[in-house]
Structure 1
Amino acid sequence: MYAALVTGVGRRRGIGAAIARRLAHDGWNLALGYHADYDRRVMREDSDVELLAEELRSRGVEVALLPGDLAEPEVPARLVERAEAELGVLSALVMSHCESVDSDYFSTTVESFDRHYAVNVRAPWLLTRAFAAQVGPDGGSVVALTSDHVAFNLPYGVTKGALDRLVIAGATELAQRGVRCNVVNPGPIDTGWMDAETRRKLSAMTPGGQLGSPQTAANLVAWLLSEQGRWINGQRLYSDGGFNPSRG
């Protein structure tokens, strides 16, 4: 049975949780990385990852819960090490975590910018490096979740752009280790941050007038990790239903 480390799985209605459910359905054992402080500070919700773990275990897979603040430089390698210790060699790393706090050119603080960089860029580098160092002879797959959002979410958007380059570089640099690397842009997904007006506006920007869900992103990630998706490498893929801000 394959094992995957999925980060950013603090809340059951998030994209990370949907990915975990889909991978459990496909028979993956799972290590779930989360940071409860982020869920309280930014999403204004308590983490309920323990309930998610119970749900996944009921499907017959092993689940390891790995709390940690990815802004701390020692945490990424430690998560990979603990995941491998509990589940064996990892075949996949899915990075759905982020730091995302709205601010612009003048309201962004140095502290906030640095934290965005640490979580959204430095941590993925360290996670991917640690993952690639432990893969077995069959190699593995890295998938990161990204976004095109930039204005008024400045440090988030800037660091997501850096994340794209970082992960795509891995497709070349880690090829000899058998590691494939791709980035998925799921478009706007309501994981608890949208009000009714935001949902209406964003739906109008999508052909058919319907937003995607965490599950739509999870479906693509699962396919990339499957045997059928092995030939896809070094790509930035959209799973956004044709979302186009110019339609609004």
Structure 2
Amino acid sequence: MSAPDGGRPVALVTGASRTAGIGGAIATALAADGWDVALTYWQPYDERMPWGGEPEGVGQLTAAVQAVGGRAAAIAADLGDVTAPAAVFAMVNATLGPVTALVLSHCESVDSDLRSTTVESFDLHMAVNARASWLLIREFAGQYSGPFGRGRIVALTSDHTAGNLPYGASKGALDRIVLASARELEDLGVTANVVNPGATDTGWMTDELRTVAAERSPLARLGTPADAAALVTFLCSERGGWVNGQLIYSDGGIHT
């Protein structure tokens, strides 16, 4: 995909901090497909999760983007902060230029059920997964200048709700926000889709969970970050321009 001036268009990928993560796979796949890539990350989130932080991850991802000819920008962003989305877009515009594709792969995800979820945790999930996504989309729409039919929004979602109430509820809100964008941004010619990658092994699964998930899959394996990245890259390309307003399962058939 090329920009109107013949250069590389700019993609903003949120939540890309680990080389084993879906966001990282999307960032490097887009770069290989001809995009310059800005990515956001928030190390304090990774550090409090079971998989822990990857201090060199962001540098490795930006190096991978540059290795295939793309420009890269890495932005630390606490998306629980209501001012962060506008600040992120300002930095991307200043370093790489206007964004053509917005990929929402960030999340807050802390397991808790209906009875154990705290109000503070619920509010943080909603702030990061739903509110920040809305604000990022709003910033994108405000700065998008064409060409008509080339703008892209893709978000990563999940069906995991039982036993993970705030995550599932906030992802449900995200779905509605993104799908509404497919209609509300029609004057810009921006497509908006949601991808559900299913059970994807990014380092958070136990051996027992890996076995159970693979057994449930018609294809007898887990999803990989590369699987999700392949679909997102297609949706961001000119080839994917007719797909709009869809929630797409890319999970090997495990949800059927």
TM-score by length of 1: 0.96
CA distance in 1, matches of 2:164, 2:76: 26
Native 8 Å contact 2:36 2:65 kept in 1: no
CA distance in 2, matches of 1:64, 1:221: 20
Native 8 Å contact 2:110 2:167 kept in 1: yes
CA distance in 2, matches of 1:244, 1:23: 27
CA distance in 2, matches of 1:41, 1:60: 34
Aligned residue among 160, 165, 173 for 1:154 = 165
CA shift, 1:178, in A, is 1.7
CA distance in 2, matches of 1:168, 1:107: 30
CA shift, 1:82, in A, is 0.9
Aligned residue among 58, 62, 66 for 2:75 = 66
Task: Note the residue ranges of structure 1 that are not aligned, 5 or more in a row.
Answer: none
CA distance in 1, matches of 2:138, 2:255: 34
Task: Note the residue ranges of structure 2 that are not aligned, 5 or more in a row.
Answer: 1-7
Aligned residue among 29, 33, 45 for 2:53 = 45
Aligned residue-pair number: 245
- RMSD, aligned α-carbons: 1.0
Native 8 Å contact 1:9 1:34 kept in 2: yes
Percent identity over the alignment is 52
Aligned residue among 11, 29, 51 for 1:4 = 11
Partner of 2:188: 177
Could you report, residue by residue, the CA deviation over 1:93-130 in whole angstroms, capped at 9, with x for unpaired residues? 00000000000112111110000000000000000000
1:107 partner SS: coil
CA shift, 1:85, in A, is 1.3
Aligned residue among 62, 86, 92 for 2:95 = 86
TM-score by length of 2: 0.93
CA shift, 1:214, in A, is 0.3
CA distance in 1, matches of 2:220, 2:183: 38
Matches within 5 A, 1:108-147: 108-139=117-148, 140-147=151-158
Partner of 1:99: 108
CA shift, 1:244, in A, is 3.2
Native 8 Å contact 1:205 1:244 kept in 2: no
1:175 partner SS: coil
CA distance in 1, matches of 2:68, 2:213: 35
Q: Which runs of 4+ in 1 moved over 4 A?
A: none
1:177 partner SS: coil
